[in-house]
Amino acid sequence: MIQSRLLRRLGLLAALAAGYFVAGKLGLEVAYIHPSATAVWPPTGLTLAALLLAGYDVWPAVLVGAFLVNITTAGSVATSAAIAVGNTLEGLLGAYLVNRFARGQRACERARDIFKLA
């Protein structure tokens, strides 16, 4: 029982890291000034949804996914790690703010809560 729960959790973390990586690579396809800078970053939405639905403890998957996207693009280990930490913290802060001020997972049930997201 505990082992199957652990395997499911590890599967979720692996899927989230892989999803972040794929979404990041797709987002970088629209980069036209610099290969690692883009105005569209789909992993942010994925991160926010994952943190709201699965909880804050999935942050390591976001960190790994963000690091892998950056290290395979054009960055050094240090810059890739710094960017990954920043991407992870922005997701955690965003999820905290949605949970705190817009009713978390129920943020889109009432019109006034939707406007809090804007």
pLDDT of 24-77, one tens digit each? 999 988 877 777 778 888 999 999 999 999 999 999 999 999 999 999 987 789
> In angstroms, how far is CA 29 from the centroid of its own chain?
18
Return the minimum-mean-pLDDT range out of 12-26, 75-89, 96-110: 96-110
Instruction: Please compute the mean of the pLDDT values over residues 80-87 and round it to a whole number.
Output: 95
pLDDT of residue 118: 64
Residue type, 33: I
pTM to 2 decimal places: 0.87
Domain boundaries, the chain: 2-117
The residue among 114 and 68 whose pLDDT is bigger is 68
Of residues 57, 26, 29, 32, the one with CA closest to residue 44:
26
Q: How far apart are CA 18 and CA 91, in angstroms?
A: 16
